[in-house]
Amino acid sequence: MLALDVLFWPFLLVDAIGGFYTYYAYEPAYCPVSMFDEPKSTVDPWGPPPENAATSVKSEKSPSKKVEPEAKPQPQKKVSTRPIFVAVLESISGGVLKYHEAQFITNVLREEAVRALYSKLNATIMTRENIIEMLPPDKSLEECEGSCIVETGKNISADYVSQAKIGTFGKSLTISVELYRTSNNKLIASFNSKARDIDALEENIRKKAADMFYEVIREETEK
């Protein structure tokens, strides 16, 4: 740089004598870029990341699901799997109903017994023929009343036995149905109903008989 200044001094002197002033200058823009660029440091001024940098960053936790405690299994009532025999004896009407009408009432009771017990227990609803075959020769179904119902149930090897009695009350028909357990002579269920005629009596039986036979299930599950 000093050599350049020495070269320009004679020209400056001549210009000054002649009354001319010429400005000679050099601009940094014409200088090599490398003269002004400082070497970049390859060292990170913040230093190397800590070894546990990945674990030191706190991430947002997603909301955790509430874990419900496992429900404890409830003890199940044990249902008997042994064969259970239920007998519906012929209905007693004392002449209030005709023979075929009394038989129809018995058939309705058997039907309701099947509906209540068929899918719940290993139950067999005994038919009229089954009962007659197993009765002692000197017995008839129409003769059995009260405690004789249980005795008849034992004679035909039934676990449960039921029978209906039809009567009258004023101008209405009445029905009383009882269900016994033969092993202990226990009356476990019964129902009574009153109706204006046999058709209404049938409707009442269909409404109430199933609940009566459900007691067999209760007896078998509470052992």
Task: Please measure the distance between the N-terminal and C-terminal CA atoms of the chain and give it in whole angstroms.
Answer: 120
What domains are there in the chain, each with its CATH number?
84-221 (3.40.50.10070)
171: region left, alpha or beta (phi > 0 left; psi from -120 to 50 alpha) = alpha
CA 51 to chain centre: 53
Q: What percent of the chain has pLDDT over 70?
A: 60
pTM of the predicted model as reported, rounded to 2 decimal places: 0.63
Question: For residues 6 and 214, which has the higher predicted lDDT (pLDDT)?
Answer: 214
Per residue in 153-173, pLDDT tens? 998 999 999 999 999 999 999
